[in-house]
Structure 1
Amino acid sequence: MEGLPGLRLLWALAALGNAASEIAAETYPPPVTNFSISVKNLCTISWHWSPPEVVNTTCTLWYDSYLGENQEISSNNYRVEEVALNERICLQVRSLCSVASTNPSDAVEMCTLPPEGDPESAVTRLQCIWYNLSQMNCTWLPGKKTPPKANYTLYYWYHSLEKSLRCTNYYMEDQLTGCSFDLHKVNVSSSDKIQIMVTDTTGTIRPSYNVILLNSVKPDPPIITVLSLQNDSLYVEWESSENFESSCLVYQVQVTDSKPKTYRVEEAKSKCYISQASQELSGNSREKNCLVIELTDRDTQYTVRVRAKTSKYCFEDVDLWSAWSPEKIIGQKPDLTFYTITLLSIPIAISISTLLLLLYLKRLKIIIFPPIPDPGKIFKEMFGDQNDDTLHWKKYDIYEKQIKEETDSVVLVENLKKTSQ
């Protein structure tokens, strides 16, 4: 009986040791093992690992993995990500004994290798736009060290494909090189991603990768079906692409009248049904889009066009507007002949009136204020230079005297002849 307290003490010490070991095992679990990495498709990276070899039975394993700043805690011993492989990609994994554990194991890291080739030979500005949910267009610029006349090759993959496909429809757009391929919404959704890789057929340039969320969507332009003037209002009705649900598009209606400096843009938010008369003609009663705009001048010609973009409720709002629809014109264009003649006649009339007024004012001034004689001129004529005047009168007297003498002589000779006879 005397040894009983000693036994109890030994049991207590053993229990404490077991608890301490369990706590230590739970606090610091061993790291994961057999870490491996693989790449499939074009940009799908898969990391796999095995649980730690020695783990306490009370430890429920969780794994804390880091891909850059992207953290994920999961009980799965793998992680799959779609990442553009343009550089070295590394994943770090730590094991935990609980989700809330603050004492993980040491990190184990596994990285991919960067693509081969000179980084400056890879294409730049690789981007893709999904046109009308039916066709994907990808464009890019050549790299600084891309060989001239490089024969590019584009590969693509998304979840509906068993393997990556090669694009065949290449084109040039200014300085951009592009390739387009069919991509229908029936096969993919806006939450899917598409993997793109561009290289050349000879393998001389470094491959360039891109992973794109299918949210960069550009719809086709709408078609204006009805344009009319109703009760001093302009009524516009149009149809959009059938590839989109009615709630996935928003519109802008641009109305420009024939008068200068009048421009107005309205965003259509209302829906309408076609009128009964239109329905009877077309046999179609499906929902359409419309907008009613109040007018200030009915006797004016209006030019209307519409464009669309995807709604933020269905796709990411990247502000990719469609092209404008073909313009439609309604209303009467004012006769510019009258305005032209009026504009030309106004300055002519003003000029003539100004000239007549100036002449009238000059005549009126002469009548009201007659010119006053200059006394200096009068005295100058009376008492001017007498030498010239005296000489003038002397010449006149001599000339007149000579003529008189000659006349008298003739008369005298005639009288003498008569007397002699």
Structure 2
Amino acid sequence: MMWLLVLSCVSLVDLSHEESMKQTSVTNLSCVLYHVTAMNCTWNTGLNPPEEYFLYLNFNQKEEECPNSIPNEHGQHICHIDYVSPDKESVTATLKKLVNQSWVPFFTKDFKLYEIEILRPPQNITVSCNEKTSECIVKWSHPPNKRNVSSESCFVYEIKDEAGNTVKGITDTYKVYPADQKHTLQIRASGKYCTITNRKGEWSERIEFGYDPNTFPTIYLILVVFGTIVTILGLFILCKRLRIWQKLTDPIPQPNLILDPDENTGKAWVDLTQTADEKITLVEEMTSSCKKHGGLSSTSQLS
């Protein structure tokens, strides 16, 4: 029974030691090269590290301490190097801690710089559209890289369209799109076959071209509204200048003699009737007298 008790105590000691090592050990040490000459290295030091670790970088047998090391609240440390000489091919990253007044290596990892490089976006991106063929051609060139690889066969490209059509594995440096559609693209590169990184590179800025035939022509709507407003203002000013509106709204004169409900209306009608009769009688009398005289003249001529 005693040996079982001793074995249990030893097991508990080992487990507590392993647990403390998990909390204090360094994990996820990684480095990336970007923009050809800049580099970042990151690592985690666990939840409760009892010692502070420092990163040393060895480029071609020349070891230097990281000039800019910044911890964050998540237990991660970031080392930034502004410039890495293009003639450097590899780097050895070593994490050290201070023990008894001396720096003791704790964790070491080697990196080939071209393998950890993140490529910049493709360069010289251009779009040319042809109205006759209703096609647009997007062209680009390979991105700059650590080893100055220029062969197009060493790169593969990925094109992301905001419409949801993502094209991968393009080895050409151009692609044709229909011009009667709206396109918003981004392009990125990665290495293939050659001594160049196979990591996904940075996306390019958004490229917009083409048009959407179903979209309402906003410019025409603006012109129509503007033209309508100008026309209305012009008519308003013209009407005000010529007083057309006043003329159109002037009251129509009323026939007071006939339409006025006056007590003398009946008398007026009688007077008008009598006057008319008198004129008619006068005309009839004149006509009769003319006939008589005419008759006399005829008689005289006959005799």
Spell out the pairing of 1:326-405 with structure 2 (5 A cutoff): 326-334=205-213, 336=215
Match of 1:291 in 2: 174
Indicate conservation of the 8 Å contact 2:23/2:46, yes or no.
yes
Secondary structure (helix, strand or coil) at the match of 1:220 reads coil
Give the letter aligned to residue 328 of structure 1: I
Match of 2:155 among 246, 249, 269: 249
Match of 1:312 in 2: 193
Match of 1:139 among 42, 52, 63: 42
Indicate conservation of the 8 Å contact 2:134/2:180, yes or no.
no
Instruction: Supply the distance in 1 between the matched residues of 2:48 and 2:105 (Cα, whole angstroms).
Output: 10
Match of 2:68 in 1: 169
Instruction: Supply the distance in 1 between the matched residues of 2:192 and 2:48 (Cα, whole angstroms).
Output: 40
TM-score (norm 1): 0.39
Instruction: Supply the distance in 2 between the matched residues of 1:125 and 1:186 (Cα, whole angstroms).
Output: 26
Indicate conservation of the 8 Å contact 2:91/2:110, yes or no.
yes
Match of 1:40 in 2: none
Give the letter aligned to residue 59 of structure 2: Y
The 1:314/1:336 distance shift into structure 2, 3 A limit, reads same
Instruction: Supply the distance in 2 between the matched residues of 1:169 and 1:299 (Cα, whole angstroms).
Output: 51
Give the letter aligned to residue 175 of structure 2: V
Instruction: Supply the distance in 1 between the matched residues of 2:73 and 2:142 (Cα, whole angstroms).
Output: 29
Instruction: Supply the distance in 2 between the matched residues of 1:225 and 1:210 (Cα, whole angstroms).
Output: 38
Deviation at 1:253, TM superposition (A): 2.1
Instruction: Supply the distance in 2 between the matched residues of 1:174 and 1:330 (Cα, whole angstroms).
Output: 43
The 1:299/1:174 distance shift into structure 2, 3 A limit, reads farther
Instruction: Supply the distance in 2 between the matched residues of 1:165 and 1:121 (Cα, whole angstroms).
Output: 24
Deviation at 1:236, TM superposition (A): 1.2
Match of 1:196 in 2: 93
Give the letter aligned to residue 179 of structure 1: C
Match of 2:271 in 1: none
Instruction: Supply the distance in 1 between the matched residues of 2:71 and 2:33 (Cα, whole angstroms).
Output: 18
Match of 1:325 in 2: 204
Indicate conservation of the 8 Å contact 1:218/1:310, yes or no.
no
Instruction: Supply the distance in 2 between the matched residues of 1:130 and 1:182 (Cα, whole angstroms).
Output: 10
Instruction: Supply the distance in 2 between the matched residues of 1:172 and 1:234 (Cα, whole angstroms).
Output: 48
Give the letter aligned to residue 91 of structure 2: I
Secondary structure (helix, strand or coil) at the match of 2:69 reads strand
Secondary structure (helix, strand or coil) at the match of 2:92 reads strand
Name the % identity: 22
Q: Can you list the C-alpha shifts for 1:27-79, whole angstroms capped at 9, x where unaligned?
A: xxxxxxxxxxxxxxxxxxxxxxxxxxxxxxxxxxxxxxxxxxxxxxxxxxxxx
Structure 1 gap segments, 5+ residues each = 1-116, 271-289, 339-421
The 1:206/1:182 distance shift into structure 2, 3 A limit, reads same
Indicate conservation of the 8 Å contact 1:217/1:310, yes or no.
no
Structure 2 gap segments, 5+ residues each = 1-19, 218-303
Give the letter aligned to residue 186 of structure 2: R
Indicate conservation of the 8 Å contact 1:136/1:182, yes or no.
yes
Does 2:109 correspond to 1:210?
yes
Deviation at 1:166, TM superposition (A): 0.9
Instruction: Supply the distance in 2 between the matched residues of 1:291 and 1:239 (Cα, whole angstroms).
Output: 9
Does 2:110 correspond to 1:227?
no
Instruction: Supply the distance in 2 between the matched residues of 1:226 and 1:327 (Cα, whole angstroms).
Output: 12
Indicate conservation of the 8 Å contact 1:156/1:196, yes or no.
yes
Q: Can you list the C-alpha shifts for 1:59-114, whole angstroms capped at 9, x where unaligned?
A: xxxxxxxxxxxxxxxxxxxxxxxxxxxxxxxxxxxxxxxxxxxxxxxxxxxxxxxx
Match of 1:301 in 2: 182
The 1:122/1:264 distance shift into structure 2, 3 A limit, reads closer
Instruction: Supply the distance in 1 between the matched residues of 2:215 and 2:52 (Cα, whole angstroms).
Output: 58
Deviation at 1:123, TM superposition (A): 1.6
The 1:165/1:205 distance shift into structure 2, 3 A limit, reads closer
Instruction: Supply the distance in 1 between the matched residues of 2:203 and 2:21 (Cα, whole angstroms).
Output: 42
Give the letter aligned to residue 194 of structure 1: V
Match of 2:240 in 1: none
Instruction: Supply the distance in 1 between the matched residues of 2:54 and 2:185 (Cα, whole angstroms).
Output: 43
Deviation at 1:167, TM superposition (A): 0.8
